[in-house]
Chains A and B, each alone.
Chain A
Amino acid sequence: MSSRAEILSAVSQNKPTLVPLPTIDFNELIRYDDLVAQFKFAVEKIGGEVLFFENEASLFESIRLQQGQNRVINTLQMNDAEKISLSKEHASDLESVHTAYFRGEIGVAENSAIWIDEKAMVNRVLPIICEHLVLVLDKNAIVATMHHAYQKVNVKAVGYGTFIAGPSKTADIEQSLVIGAHGPRSLKVYLIG
């Protein structure tokens, strides 16, 4: 018998009597009076920074002004050819990226996690390998909790997607928090609207 058959048969024999799934009652969940304020509080608590922009035009102007000698990638203003080219770059090419900008899809007020899928990333390794990460998010895309977020995210539709909360970090040396483990050394969230 194959291991597959062996495992499934043992599980089938040994599993207990079927018990039902619970229903998640959204009335039980925490409510925040001001989602944006809670979101900002959560970002700052885990070492990120929030900046407000009235509209995309003012945001793009600000990004344009930041362009210097360092390599900056703004995935929000890329044409298809540029996206195809970026998607083919290897980690060794992207290692030198100073700042990368992405559009986040949903923000979660309770923990400041921002959902971003591979389409928005263009290249899966870019949001993790850039030195500094900027996620652009519509104020209206902030929901209260992870339960609300999963109502909106169509997980099945993406090949890869992630909730990002704050810059990469570690406390593996004597529980001392160090920002900038393997991924970005900073996270800025640009809230639009």
Chain B
Amino acid sequence: MKKVKEHAEAAADFIKDGPRTDWHDDTLWFVREKRDLAAHTLPEWEQLREWASQIKNHTLSNLDEYLKNFEINAQSNGVKIHWAANAAEHNKIVHKIIQDNNIQKIVKSKSMLTEECHLNEYLIQNGISVIDTDLGERIVQLRKEPPSHIVLPAIHLKKQDVSETFHRHLQTEKGNNDPQYLTEAARQHLRNHFVESELAITGVNFAVSETGGFVVCTNEGNADMGANTAKIHIACMGIEKIIPKAEHLSVFLRLLARSATGQPITTYSSHFNKPRPNQQMHIVIVDNGRSRQLGRADFRNSLKCIRCAACFNTCPVYRRSGGHSYHTAVAGPIGSILNPNLDMKANADLPFASTLCGSCSNVCPVKIDIHEQLWKWRQVIADEGYVTTSKKVGMQGMALVFANPKLYRILGSIGRKTMKLFPFLVNNKLNPWYKQRDMPEPPKESFRDWYKKQQK
């Protein structure tokens, strides 16, 4: 198996192309600015965030009851409920529904849960192919890449890249980079798949305990097109998607699109309660580590996430390292606090992929303390022994120096003299701090020396 590159290593590859890195950075910052404009149209924005946070806190504190009620209500709506303890079970359940109904043609709209469970790969291994229908997801699927962003799956690609991909797979004109033309080509290509589809897989944005129904939000209309055409609809959801009542949707639908893209709402906010006549509707409720995260007091409120990706768009590290550097289905700051729960060793690098600036927590529509959790994960990961030796030794060295004033002063003095007299000793490739940075001018004296002089 190919070794997965750690975030820092993958990010170093990403930023080799300077102009492209700047473009990626600017594009996402533009989305962040649109979010700000949308948020500022509502004087109650901060109150909305507080309500959303409290509704989610309440729901998590009574989650088992809400799940049971949801199941009862969904069943009375004629929906079949399945429970999956982990990704493997989720994939098996979906596979079995496909097999039992002898299905060939499957369309799927966006579901980060199915990405987390690697459903597509599992089905391919079993000889079943799935057509992703969200435009961005279809683009990355044709390129055999994972999405790099949970809301904007192909945000790492330029229109030239998409044009080349479509030329190869959809026989579009070579060199025609017009987004309108390319989108139209995808519309025609996917329309055929929709019309022929026998089974549609969708995600779930919100599952309403009181109604037993669920809400799916899209701009393209692909979830509705698939689910309302196919004779079987499978919706996959994590246990944390539950909210108590339909009236609570108002709070979340007001926050979601404004936080995600700066739109006042997505084009479609579709409420699926009951199957059509002769249609089968299935809901797969997945745990996959979520109940464990619920038990971690420091980290449980990561389960409040509504997947808007505002934390991605604002993050200076995400914007300049790209989603693929995070080597997980959910990248960005929120991914960096969710993924260590899924596999602490494999994702030990992620909580370090942050400056802890706190911008993620400030834009989060459900008030998750993301940057504090990043810092807390670092401690857990260090305690569990999952940090690299160089980082461990470095940290131990730093702790020793900072705990010993005399040693600190001596080393400070040596450092200043070295930088002044022998700058090449620090301004070289062996010093990781020198990468993409100029070392600062060494001060003539330390603050302590200066302060002592002032006292005289």
Q: Decide whether A and B are members of one complex.
A: yes
Residues of A participating in the B interface, judged by any CB pair closer than 8 Å: 2-4, 6-8, 10-22, 24, 28-30, 42, 45-46, 90-92, 95, 108, 110-113, 124-125, 128-129, 145-147, 149-151, 153, 155-156, 158-176, 178, 180-184
What are 14 inter-chain pairs, A to B, with CB distance below 8 A? A8-B68, A10-B287, A10-B292, A22-B50, A91-B194, A108-B265, A124-B276, A156-B211, A158-B273, A165-B264, A168-B267, A171-B152, A181-B222, A182-B222
Q: A166 CA to B57 CA in the complex, in Å?
A: 33
By DSSP majority rule, is chain A's interface helix, strand, loop, or mixed? Answer: loop
Query: Are A174 and B158 in contact, with the CB atoms below 8 A?
Result: yes
Nearest CB on B from A127, distance (A): 8
Known A29-B44, A159-B276, A168-B220; judge A183-B225 contact (CB<8 A). Answer: yes
B residues 247-270 in Cβ contact with A at 8 Å: 247, 249-251, 253-254, 261, 263-270
Residues of chain A within 8 A (CB-CB) of B211 are 155-156
Give the residue of A21, A42, A149, A172 whose beta carbon is less than 8 angstroms from that of B135. Answer: A172
Residues of chain A within 8 A (CB-CB) of B83 are 2-4, 7
Give the residue of A45, A149, A178, A182 whose beta carbon is less than 8 angstroms from that of B221. Answer: A182
Residues of B participating in the A interface, judged by any CB pair closer than 8 Å: 27, 30-31, 41-44, 47, 50-51, 54-55, 57-58, 60-64, 67-68, 77, 83-85, 89, 133-136, 139, 152-155, 157-159, 162, 179-180, 182-184, 187, 190-191, 194-196, 208, 210-211, 213, 219-222, 224-225, 228-229, 239, 244, 246-247, 249-251, 253-254, 261, 263-276, 285, 287, 291-292, 294-295, 297, 300
**Closest residue of A by beta carbon distance from B30:** A175
Residues of chain A within 8 A (CB-CB) of B179 are 173-174, 176, 178
Query: Are A11 and B67 in contact, with the CB atoms below 8 A?
Result: yes
Q: A43 CA to B300 CA in the complex, in Å?
A: 39
Q: A184 CA to B221 CA in the complex, in Å?
A: 9
Query: Are B64 and A8 in contact, with the CB atoms below 8 A?
Result: yes
Residues of chain A within 8 A (CB-CB) of B157 are 173-174
Give the residue of A3, A150, A167 whose beta carbon is less than 8 angstroms from that of B247. Answer: A150
Give the residue of A4, A15, A151, A181 whose beta carbon is less than 8 angstroms from that of B187. Answer: A181
Query: Are B183 and A181 in contact, with the CB atoms below 8 A?
Result: yes
**Closest residue of A by beta carbon distance from B31:** A175
Q: A58 CA to B35 CA in the complex, in Å?
A: 40
Residues of chain B within 8 A (CB-CB) of A20 are 54, 58
**Closest residue of A by beta carbon distance from B159:** A174
Nearest CB on A from B455, distance (A): 52
**Closest residue of B by beta carbon distance from A180:** B187
Given A21-B55, A110-B254, A172-B139, 9 more A-B residue pairs with CB atoms under 8 Å apart are: A14-B294, A150-B249, A155-B211, A156-B210, A158-B271, A160-B274, A160-B276, A161-B270, A162-B270
Q: A125 CA to B267 CA in the complex, in Å?
A: 15
Q: A164 CA to B51 CA in the complex, in Å?
A: 24
Known A21-B54, A92-B195; judge A10-B228 contact (CB<8 A). Answer: no
Nearest CB on A from B341, distance (A): 12
Give the residue of A90, A151, A156, A165 whose beta carbon is less than 8 angstroms from that of B267. Answer: A165
Give the residue of A46, A91, A159 whose beta carbon is less than 8 angstroms from that of B273. Answer: A159
Q: A180 CA to B222 CA in the complex, in Å?
A: 11
Query: Are A11 and B291 in contact, with the CB atoms below 8 A?
Result: yes
Give the residue of A8, A90, A147, A163 whose beta carbon is less than 8 angstroms from that of B265. Answer: A163
Query: Are A145 and B250 in contact, with the CB atoms below 8 A?
Result: yes
Nearest CB on B from A192, distance (A): 23
Q: A30 CA to B158 CA in the complex, in Å?
A: 39
Q: A124 CA to B102 CA in the complex, in Å?
A: 24
Query: Are B84 and A42 in contact, with the CB atoms below 8 A?
Result: no
Q: When A and B form their complex, which 6 residue pairs have the shortest distance between CB atoms, in order from nearest?
A: A183-B221, A14-B295, A111-B264, A159-B274, A181-B220, A172-B136
Query: Are A7 and B291 in contact, with the CB atoms below 8 A?
Result: yes
Give the residue of B251, B267, B294 whose beta carbon is less than 8 angstroms from that of A11. Answer: B294
Of the listed residues B153, B261, B271, the one surrounded by the most CB atoms of chain A closer than 10 A to its CB is B271
Give the residue of B222, B249, B265, B291 whose beta carbon is less than 8 angstroms from that of A165. Answer: B265
Residues of chain B within 8 A (CB-CB) of A3 are 83-85, 89, 287
Of the listed residues A30, A90, A170, the one surrounded by the most CB atoms of chain B closer than 10 A to its CB is A170
**Closest residue of B by beta carbon distance from A177:** B179
Nearest CB on B from A8, distance (A): 5
**Closest residue of B by beta carbon distance from A45:** B264
Nearest CB on A from B23, distance (A): 9
Q: A31 CA to B220 CA in the complex, in Å?
A: 30
Nearest CB on A from B228, distance (A): 4
Query: Are A174 and B250 in contact, with the CB atoms below 8 A?
Result: no
